[in-house]
Amino acid sequence: MTFKFTTAVGTLLCAAAPAFADKAAVLDNYADIALAKYTDSLTTGQSLLAAVNNLTENPSAEALQAAKDAWLAARVPYQQTEVYRFGNAIVDDWEGKVNAWPLDEGLIDYVDGTYGGATDENEYAVLNVVANPSFTLSGNTIDASDITPALLEGSLHEADGVESNVATGYHAVEFLLWGQDLNGHGAGAGNRPWTDYASGDACTGGNCDRRADYLTAATALLVSDLEWMVAQWQDDGDARTQLSADENAGISAILTGMGSLSYGETAGERMRLGVMLNDPEEEHSCFADNTYNDHFYNAVGIRNVYLGSYTRVDGSIVSGESLASLVAAADAGVDAEMRAKLDATILKMLDMKIAAEAGFAYDSMLERGNAAGEALIMGGVDALIDQTRSIERAVVALGGNAIEIEGSDSLDDPEAVFQ
């Protein structure tokens, strides 16, 4: 039950500014960039799968590190796709399988004693599928003797209707590669030994074969999910078809994606919440300590969608008619303000990224009383909130013109927007 009407960005129905830019061309380019981003996510995901296969077949410290490196690389294009989520239902409905967080990792594998047990919210917080070939879930006996993609997505993901039972996607794979980060607010990520994938007596953590099966199944599932999303953005794909079915609704989808990712998701759920709770587990990538990159590439993705130009992982550029040109045609002042705000956000995010890469762990930034860390993160939060106001102004600038259909859907038939 996603309830969309607050983000359905309709506005002044009666405004009648003439269109100068070609909306169809803007939407084509937006879809082309989506295709390029998801294709880059797929190819880097395939590299991750190859590295995972090598790790499980020839376990070693080097093989584990190579898999971690492949995971980090795969996140770069994927985080830039998130700006497509909130405006495109087909992406939002699918996203939970691929990038859900935070997770109660005890569902998947062994955890430290300080993790705790089942909670009010989640009876299965310490189910430990790796260690248990058979268990009961919501009254049903589950045969998990073979750990397969079908088991993960069919029986385990969001088990018992609890969102933190994340059994699939990037963060499940992240946990299986890094393990829990037990450093609290100190520097350092999760430190899973490579021997968690070793065979025979060298195996640590128990059930190394089942852990390897889980890691392989989760990574293979991630790749197949990305293949599916790439197909949706091909010429006859559903995502592209839905987007172009109504030009004004399509333009509205772009702005909805930018605003929702800026404000509610990245500034709110992902950044401010962690600072407010001083909780090192409130990190988007809490096992790998890659959270600053998650935020940074979200901001990059928002900006490149507005400007209509994406630099691919091989360095080639996909660009064309942009939302920026459409906004500029309606109100050059709003476009200039929007560009300045997007640039300001990137610079604030860079401050955070540079400090993190120089050794100031994101965990430490979240620590109680760490004023410098709080300032770095809140600098990004404030910039995202600020750019959201400009996105709303862009909506108004295009209002009654670019956005009127979306607006009139919700205004003429309010019941429709609750479906």
Partner 1 sequence: MRLALILPFCALPAFADVDRALDTHILPAQTELADTTQALADTAQADCTPQAVRPAFHIAYDAWISISHIQFGPLEDQALTLPMSFWPDPKDSTGKALARLTAARDPIVDDPDNFDDVSAAAQGFTALERMLYDPQPDADYACRLTQAIATGLARKSEAITHDWPAFADLMRSAGTDGNTRFQDEDEARRALYTALSTGLQFLHDQRLGRPLGTFDRPRPRRAEARRSERTLRHIQLQLAALETLATAMTDTDLTQTRTAFAEARQRAKTLDDPALQDVADPARRFKVEVLQQAVRAVQVAMINEIGTPLGISAGFNSLDGD
Instruction: Tell me: does residue 273 bind partner 1 (CB under 8 A).
Output: yes
Interacting span for partner 1 (CB under 8 A) from 198-206, 230-238, 271-279, 341-349: 271-279
Burial track 301-315 (b if 16+ CB lie within 10 A, e otherwise): bbbbbbbbbbeebee
For partner 1, the binding residue among 61, 118, 277, 340 (CB under 8 A) is: 277
- Pattern 371-400, partner 1, x by CB under 8 A: -------x--x---x--xx-xxx--xx--x
Is the backbone of residue 308 left (phi > 0), alpha (psi -120 to 50) or beta?
Answer: left
Instruction: State how far the alpha carbon of 199 is from the alpha carbons of 111, 128, 209, 255, in Å.
Output: 20, 20, 7, 51
Residues 9-48 binding partner 1 (CB under 8 A) are: 9-17
Least distance in angstroms from the C-beta of 300 to partner 1:
18
Q: What distance in Å separates the CA atoms of residue 365 and residue 342, rounded to the nearest whole number?
A: 23
Bridge partners, residue 141, by sequence: 136
Least distance in angstroms from the C-beta of 5 to partner 1:
7
For partner 1, the binding residue among 22, 28, 158, 160 (CB under 8 A) is: 160
Bridge partners, residue 309, by sequence: 319
Nearest alpha carbon to residue 11 among 416, 415, 414, 396: 396
Q: What distance in Å separates the CA atoms of residue 89 and residue 403, rounded to the nearest whole number?
A: 17
SS3 361: coil
Q: Nearer to partner 1 by C-beta: 118 or 202?
A: 118
CB within 8 A of 241, min separation 6: which ones?
none
Which tokens is 218 given?
């989760």
Instruction: Tell me: does residue 86 bind partner 1 (CB under 8 A).
Output: yes
Least distance in angstroms from the C-beta of 208 to partner 1:
30
Which tokens is 183 given?
């450093």
Q: Nearer to partner 1 by C-beta: 196 or 265?
A: 265
Least distance in angstroms from the C-beta of 11 to partner 1:
6
Interacting span for partner 1 (CB under 8 A) from 20-28, 264-272, 303-311, 318-326: 264-272
Number of residues that this document lists for the chain: 419
CB within 8 A of 39, min separation 6: which ones?
230
Q: What distance in Å separates the CA atoms of residue 74 and residue 287, rounded to the nearest whole number?
A: 16
Residues of the shown chain interacting with partner 1 in the complex, contacts defined by CB under 8 A:
1, 3, 5-17, 86, 102, 119-121, 138, 160-161, 163-164, 259-260, 262-266, 268-270, 272-273, 276-279, 281, 331, 333-334, 368-369, 378, 381, 385, 388-389, 391-393, 396-397, 400, 407, 410-411, 414-415, 417-418
